[in-house]
Structure 1
Amino acid sequence: MNYKIKQQDRRTFMKRSSGIIAGLAAGSALTETLAFGVAKPLYSIPLGVYAGYSKANFLKESGCTYIEESVAGFLIPPDGDEQYEKNLRQLKSENFPIKSYVILLPGSLKTLGPDANHEAILQRTELVLKRAKECGSQYVVFGSGTSRIIPDGFDRAVAKAQHIELTKKMAPLAEKYGVTIAVEPLNRGETNFINSLSEGVEIVDAVKSPSIKLLCDIYHMLKEDEPATEIVKYGKHIVHCHIAEKESRTPPGVKGDDFRPYLSALKKINYKGGLSIECFVYTDFEKEAKRGIEVLKQQLSEV
């Protein structure tokens, strides 16, 4: 009898001990959760690459969610309307979205100065916006630095007024077709007008249209030594972003630039738009573009 009692006591002790241990483990986990908080999801945004649409399949397989094309390469190609129709059919067949188009204007069309040609620009812009809508695209980037260079000796205030007047005329067209025009600040090596986010916002604020917004290009910000805090300051205007390394406009991962301060600023404003690698020269496009996407995903995960 005593032996049985001892056996029962031993079993009871083991059960209680197991319960205590489990409770301590659960308590430890709870304490850890309370101390450190629930694990936050990693910050991620849609990533794309500026490239010809022939690269669509490769970019899709490389982890991109969209491609960025050029106005002259896709919407108004040198071979004319027939080529555009072919491009449109390919887009519908591939079903890989073009989010945005760069280089709205050729350098021969001036937005300001004595040779400003607003009528021709507005005709071109309407066609671009119409076709961008047909393609299901969201943005047309208004950088076109050569078009907006203020000529030597030309009054800067007059030039700015000309550019704002033109952009105000573009706004109803953008609203009509449901495509946003994103004003792009460029570094002073490319143009002498609209070289910072603050100067881009001056144009956006002057136009006052929901279809005229701001593009944030981290490459140009780096070239101008523009701090990441400017992204936070003007975040409410930003709808689209570009990125490349500072020295030679290479994709992320070539020189090893650390973009995390700028990516952290995008996270702080809860930016959910696209981030496009915009480079014009590659040593090996497929290798460098794929590596660029990988590097951006890694750096985004660390902010």
Structure 2
Amino acid sequence: MRYAICNETFTDWEHGRICDFIAGCGYGGLEIAPFTLAPLITDVSSERRSQLRSQAEMAGIQIIGLHWLLAKTNGFQLTSADPQVRINTGNYLAELAYACRDLGGDVLVLGSPQQRKIPEGASHEAAEVYAADTISYAFKALESSGVTLALEPLTPKETDFLQSAESAVKLAQRIGHPNVRLHLDVKAMASEQKPISQVIRDNAHWLKHFHANDENLRGPGFGEIDFKPIFQALKDVNYTGWVSVEVFDYTPDPETIARQSIEYMRSCE
């Protein structure tokens, strides 16, 4: 397995310090939440992007991609009924793809539950149409940058749109573009009717990226979910992407989260 971790875990740590620390823990990749860099990704200059990439590479770390793409932004909505909002959002996804490329990554994880709600009075089907249209404005950027947009199913507690791997694959099929694939998250899969290992196997053809965490919002090994069958499923389907630790409960501290998460995952391997 190739292990990465998300940078917002480290709150106010300087980027170079994060890279040095996670390299020492045994991680090879870092996933970045854009809001940790600037209010908008377009505020991050080409010089700053180059600096961030160089600092990571000097530590032996690859910046693998971006997630929380639309979090803490204003005016963007994946499922908006307003055509201009969809254009603006799609164009912003394009800018995120270019930034991802500049940083050395190749995946954008599209979660952002607050920016993908079904519009009032609209059906899930209508929201799918709106989302597909929004994403279409990023096609050229995804192609030219070599970046994949990975649709992330989330739990019913978090969103009313794309609550299962099946629904995310359905949207990817509607979009029909090779740079639009599936992201799977352990916490989210725990809310599905099928066992997590079966969700992985059933959707392996679409799988681009993977988040490791627990249903309790902490890191792998910090809760009740057993990762042995999860990793067995990933191996059985020949998954070669990153396994990236994403937590939402930052206790007790970043160092403990990072160290114990990778130790647990390695023991499960």
TM-score (norm 2): 0.87
Q: Identify if the C-alpha distance between structure 1 residues 79 and 99 changes in structure 2 by more than 3 Å, giving closer, same or farther.
A: closer
Counterpart CA distance in 2 for 1:292 and 1:265 is 19
CA contact (8 A) 2:132 2:174 kept: yes
SS at match of 1:153: coil
SS at match of 1:191: coil
User: Of 248, 252, 255, which aligns to 2:223?
Assistant: 255
Counterpart CA distance in 1 for 2:160 and 2:190 is 16
Amino acid at match of 2:208: V
- Residue correspondence of structure 1 range 9-24 to structure 2 within 5 A: none
Q: Identify if the C-alpha distance between structure 1 residues 294 and 61 changes in structure 2 by more than 3 Å, giving closer, same or farther.
A: same
Counterpart CA distance in 1 for 2:263 and 2:107 is 25
SS at match of 2:137: helix
Amino acid at match of 1:68: E
Counterpart CA distance in 2 for 1:153 and 1:171 is 29
Deviation at 1:48, TM superposition (A): 0.9
Could you say what the CA RMSD is over the residues aligned between the two structures, in angstroms? 2.1
User: Of 32, 37, 49, which aligns to 1:69?
Assistant: 32
Counterpart of 2:203? 234
Counterpart of 1:4? none
Deviation at 1:105, TM superposition (A): 1.5
Q: Does 1:55 align with 2:18?
A: yes
Deviation at 1:111, TM superposition (A): 1.7
SS at match of 2:190: helix
Counterpart of 2:52? 90
SS at match of 1:223: coil
Counterpart of 1:132? 100
Amino acid at match of 1:260: K
Q: Identify if the C-alpha distance between structure 1 residues 100 and 81 changes in structure 2 by more than 3 Å, giving closer, same or farther.
A: closer
Deviation at 1:80, TM superposition (A): 2.8
Deviation at 1:124, TM superposition (A): 1.3
Q: Identify if the C-alpha distance between structure 1 residues 163 and 277 changes in structure 2 by more than 3 Å, giving closer, same or farther.
A: same
Counterpart CA distance in 2 for 1:113 and 1:133 is 27
Segments of 5+ residues of structure 1 without an aligned counterpart are 1-44
Q: Does 1:112 align with 2:79?
A: yes
Rg (Cα) greater in structure: 1
Counterpart of 1:243? 212
- Residue correspondence of structure 1 range 18-57 to structure 2 within 5 A: 45-52=1-8, 53=15, 54-57=17-20
Q: Identify if the C-alpha distance between structure 1 residues 158 and 90 changes in structure 2 by more than 3 Å, giving closer, same or farther.
A: closer
Q: Identify if the C-alpha distance between structure 1 residues 168 and 126 changes in structure 2 by more than 3 Å, giving closer, same or farther.
A: closer
CA contact (8 A) 1:76 1:128 kept: no
Aligned residues: 254
Counterpart of 2:266? 297
Deviation at 1:195, TM superposition (A): 0.9
Counterpart CA distance in 1 for 2:80 and 2:52 is 39
Amino acid at match of 2:4: G
CA contact (8 A) 1:75 1:132 kept: no
CA contact (8 A) 2:91 2:138 kept: no
